[in-house]
Structure 1
Amino acid sequence: MAIRPILVLPDARLRAVADPIDAVDDDIRALAKDMLDTMYDAPGIGLAAPQIGVMKRVVVMDLAKEDEKPAPMVLINPEILKFSDETTITEEGCLSIPELYYDVERPSEITVRYTDLDGQTIELEAKDRLAVCVQHELDHLDGVLYIDYLSRLKRDRVVKKFDKAAKRAVG
């Protein structure tokens, strides 16, 4: 089990676009395991590879509740094929922006295509909490954070808070 450090705003790697994965190999499987271990330890329900400084298009999630059996998902090279017109507003948080939660509006249903750890192509229709989580994590692969959906004032406040904290940690 390898728990990796999670990058926190304002780390520039959180704003970078991740690279596609050419083949699902043992290195990718080991990365996915480390990501799941890191996510469970945090604790969180989703984690994208850029959040641990690995610029690859891999996302892990587990939306099982505390009293349910774990249901880990690994999405490699995921892409959203379809968004519903209907939207939902949900409170979101992020392991890279700890202890802050804001309401975000997103499409309530999506269709996502990805490769699993066996190299199989999967198409998944997701709605509600799963759809929100998939969209949140896939945004990380493109350098987008959930605070980007907030008003400019709120977003600037969050960025300023984390910039100050980073300066205090260095200085």
Structure 2
Amino acid sequence: MILKLGDERLYQISEPVTDFNTAGLAEIEEKLHEAMFDFRAKYQVGRAIAAPQIGIFMRIIYLNMGEPVLMINPELSNFSDETFELWDDCMSFPNLLVKVKRHKFCTLTYTNRKLEKITQQLTDDVSELLQHEYDHLNGILATMLAIDKFSFKWKD
């Protein structure tokens, strides 16, 4: 079950993964996959989910844009000065959009399910998406990043 806006656990900072037991990580990945695909079935959206959104306070992100990717202990760096505004949505508040500002480019480094270190340059929508999910690992929700008091609207 995905934790909803107002659940204080969403504001908790997640702990780094220190036990790389692949069976345990596979179980977490399965839970993230199920939660995301249940959400997709209901709302027809959802590309990624962070472990804290399902009550697992570990630094793990699951992405599925055709291929499943498990990101263990992800780190974002090298943020571009260039930013853009967008209406952000979230599985933790599925009917609400929040206008936020995100960096156009950044660098992502993480450990994958094979325990390999991966570094990628992210741009545009993938950069925005991973910034959103990374914020969850730090107890930050898009509602906390709203550009101003007029930056909220209901989804149609």
Q: Which range, TM-score by smaller chain?
A: 0.7 to 0.9
Match of 1:118 in 2: 114
In 2, distance between residues paired with 1:127 and 1:16?
Answer: 28
CA distance in 1, matches of 2:149, 2:92: 20
2:43 maps to what in 1? none
Match of 1:77 in 2: 73
2: CA distance, partners of 1:72 / 1:88: 27
CA distance in 2, matches of 1:154, 1:112: 31
Post-superposition, which runs of at least 4 consecutive aligned residues in structure 1 deviate over 6 A?
A: none
CA distance in 1, matches of 2:107, 2:98: 24
> Which residue of the partner structure matches residue 30 of structure 1?
27
Amino acid at match of 1:49: A
Structure 1: stretches of 5+ with no match in the other structure: 65-69, 159-171
For residue 103 of structure 1, report the CA deviation from its aligned partner: 2.3
SS of equivalent residue, structure 1 residue 143: coil
Give the root-mean-square deviation of aligned CA atoms: 1.7
Equivalent pair of 2:11/2:139 in contact (CA under 8 Å): yes
Aligned length: 147
Residue 153 of structure 1, CA deviation:
3.3
Q: CA deviation at 1:154?
A: 5.1
CA deviation map 1:124-143 (0-9, x unaligned): 11101110010000000000
Matches of 2:52 and 2:150 in 1, distance apart? 24
Supply the AA of the counterpart residue of 1:30. Answer: E
- Partner residue of 2:63? 61
> Given residue 25 of structure 2, which amino acid in structure 1 is its aligned partner?
I
What whole-Å deviation, never above 9, does each CA across 1:34-68 have from its counterpart, x for those lacking one? 10121122012111111001111101112x3xxxx
Matching residue's letter, 2:63: M
> Quick one: percent identity of the two aligned structures?
31
TM-score by length of 2: 0.87
Alignment equivalent of 2:101, drawn from 102, 105, 111: 105
Which has the higher Rg, Structure 1 or Structure 2?
1
Describe the superposition over 1:135-158 as per-residue Cα deviations: whole angstroms up to 9, x where unpaired: 000000000001111146358x89
Q: Which moved more, 1:111-120 or 1:83-92?
A: 83-92
Unaligned runs of 5+ in 2: 41-45
